[in-house]
Amino acid sequence: MFKKILIANRGEIACRVIKTAQRMGIKTVAVYSEADQRSLHVKLADEAVFIGPAPSKESYLVMDKIIAACKETGAEAVHPGYGFLSENEEFARRIEEEGIKFIGPKHYSIAKMGDKIASKKLAQEAGVNTIPGYNDAISGPDEAVEIAKKIGYPVMIKASAGGGGKGLRVAWNDKEAHEGFASCVSEARNSFGDDRVFIEKFVQEPRHIEIQVLGDAHGHYVYLFERECSIQRRHQKVVEEAPSPFIDSDTRKAMGEQAVALARAVRYESAGTVEFVVGADKSFYFLEMNTRLQVEHPVTEYITGLDLVEQMIRVAAGEELAFAQKDLKINGWAMECRINAEDPFRGFLPSTGRLVKFRAPPENASVRVDTGVYEGGEISMFYDSMIAKLIVHGATREEAVERMRDALNGFVIRGISSNIPFQAALMQHPRFMSGAFNTGFIAEEYADGFDASMVPHDDPALLAAIAVFARRRYIDRAVKIGGQHPGFGRQVKREWVVVMHGQHYPLVATPTERGMSISHGDKTYDINSEWTFGDQLFTGTVNGQPICLQIERQGMTYQISHFGLKVAPIVMTSRAAYLLSLMPEKAPPDLSKFLISPMPGLLREVAATEGQEVKAGEKLVVIEAMKMENILRAEHDVKVKKIVAKPGASLSVDEVIIEFE
């Protein structure tokens, strides 16, 4: 077994690998860029080596620097994590040539499977079902349109070396095929250094289901069942679970055996994932093979009891798999939510900055949090948007969903926006709960975006009662202040009005031995809690049932988050509520004459010029944030008065880019 390994990655996955290595008694080496010098993976590792500037192409993607770090520290093996160089055939080959073990498949396996065009041909030869399409590199956008016509719309345009939703577009007509090809080529060149693109038929109403495989150097192969990854937004996975609520045992066996056949055909040694698109009739077609550890691997670990990172390390060290297919069984149900730094109420735009508060739910046998951040750390614009992965396990799917809801309630993040409200809404959506969804679920159910009205809550009066409970706690403290003139102390009334979402909730609060009894109409809430001022987590019981939500006082309001719903109730006397209703509303400023950056990021391109008349729908600027290009277009016909920000500028949220006449 290795004595020391280097992790050629950063963030959550680097921390994940370090934890397993430490449990196995293996020393670890971290590498870090300028942006990551205070990152958690650097703190956790036994040693750390600086490898360059923040942009990944100058640090984490530079093979020479990784190899030099191995030699400097005496690392015997390299774990690449996922992303960066994890599926780079040249990197795996060069590592092996230096006498260092690559904790992953051999370079020839990566070469065959890392190229989506070559992998599809090889899959066909191995007897694996494949999707109709054009499997050779395409010369330009015009040829892409002609090929798309022959296959028949809709088609999927994909970068051959792509992954993680980058270098991928779905085209429904000639115009989208032409534009999609150009975008895919640009994203692929910037992200992977390989701008080859291919086209295949887009299967409508598909499910994205993948099979986890393991192979060793001694010819042993197993599949670790499937993961359901159909809940996606813009081709990026949002929620993953294992097993799939759609797959039956016969389909699972057939998919698993085809995945193993493919792994055997390329002499695969390590953990890998064979991705399939599955139709409504349970027909399945090979999509690609990811020759690395997947982001969603923890759900497989929960249902099998195996540590996949440990298995990768053992295989790389030359050990045989210690189990056969007959030894593997599915235990319960696991689910993972990706907690990302993005604002779901602003079109999921990236959110970067300092984590003022980061308090994950307590981990136990059924709740796991994989993260590479900590309170006080920063979410950088240079890398992906993942803050953490929240994984839960239950005996049934229903129990797993219930545990995920509770865990999301207790996940406190402040300083930046996160997608927790959206994840909470998904966990309560009837289609998700039924398991009757496909990859189009989010696009169909949230076609016009996501807003607070889409977060259900079956008892808003409960949130009003919690606000009154908190208000009374503050007042009860205030009346205890000494030095008050006798007979002039504050008289605390029992009647309150909570103004929330434009509605008035009259409530009556009566202190009890352990808390407060608060009534609204004919409903009473007996609230018991040890909550104290400044604690953003409110835990306790309501009518004997446990409750967990987030609450904090901001000016006159009590910001409350529960099951993804965010409200800002104001607690006041009935007289104060009446007077508030008489106050005029302040009109928002007119910003129609400005193009304002909706996110922090790098201004890559300004397509307009001063004095130009721009038509509705035309491209104005391109902003790069967290490795993704975002195009801002004109909402209506405008004339450009002034270009305020120049290409190359680092933009903050709401910064003016262009002024219109």
Residue 621: per-residue pLDDT: 94
Domain containing residue 170: CATH number? 3.30.1490.20
116 and 228 share a domain?
A: yes
Domain containing residue 539: CATH number? 3.30.700.30
Residue 490: per-residue pLDDT: 67
454: in domain: no
Residue 380: per-residue pLDDT: 87
525 and 652 share a domain?
A: no
The last residue of one of the domains, among 287, 306, 331, is: 331
Residue 588: per-residue pLDDT: 82
| Contact (CB, 8 A) for 137 and 199 | no
Tens-digit pLDDT profile for residues 614-659? 999 999 999 987 767 889 999 889 999 999 999 999 888 889 999 9
More confident residue, 286 or 152: 286
455: in domain: no
288 is an active site residue: yes
152 and 212 share a domain?
A: no
243 and 112 share a domain?
A: yes
The last residue of one of the domains, among 169, 201, 233, is: 201
What's the CA gap between 363 and 407, in Å, rounded?
Answer: 10
Q: pLDDT category, 165, cuts 50, 70, 90?
A: low
Average pLDDT for 527-536: 92
Domain containing residue 11: CATH number? 3.40.50.20
* Model confidence at 581: pLDDT above 80: yes
146: in domain: yes
Domain of residue 181 covers: 132-201
Q: What CA–CA distances, in Å, run from 603 to 259, 400, 648?
A: 42, 42, 5
644: in domain: yes
Tens-digit pLDDT profile for residues 299-341? 999 999 999 999 999 999 999 999 999 999 999 999 999 999 9
Residue 638: per-residue pLDDT: 92
Q: pLDDT category, 163, cuts 50, 70, 90?
A: low
Q: Return the residue matching tokens 């809690």.
A: 529
**255 token code pair:** 């998919």
* Model confidence at 70: pLDDT above 80: yes
Q: pLDDT category, 413, cuts 50, 70, 90?
A: very high
**What average pLDDT does the structure give for the chain?**
92
The active-site residue out of 226, 240, 288, 301 is: 288
311: in domain: yes
586: in domain: no
587: in domain: no
Q: Which residues contact 584 (CB under 8 A, 6 or more apart)?
A: none
Q: What is the secondary structure of 185-238 as a DSSP string?
A: HHHHHHHHS---EEEEE--SS-EEEEEEEEE-TTS-EEEEEEEEEEEEETTEEE
| Contact (CB, 8 A) for 98 and 67 | yes
Average pLDDT for 594-614: 91
148 and 259 share a domain?
A: no
Domain containing residue 343: CATH number? 3.30.470.20
Least confident among 76-85, 236-245, 372-381: 372-381
The last residue of one of the domains, among 51, 84, 103, is: 103
116 and 252 share a domain?
A: yes
517 and 535 share a domain?
A: yes
238 and 120 share a domain?
A: yes
Query: To 10 degrees, the CA torsion angle through 395, 398, 402, 407?
Result: 60
Residue 164: per-residue pLDDT: 63
Domain containing residue 648: CATH number? 2.40.50.100
* Model confidence at 507: pLDDT above 90: yes
State how many domains the chain has: 6
112 and 42 share a domain?
A: no
**570 token code pair:** 């104001």
396 and 514 share a domain?
A: no
174 and 248 share a domain?
A: no
Q: What CA–CA distances, in Å, run from 156 to 89, 183, 209?
A: 25, 13, 17
* Model confidence at 486: pLDDT above 80: no
220 and 270 share a domain?
A: yes
Strand segments, DSSP code E, in 372-483 are 378-379, 386-394, 412-414
452: in domain: no
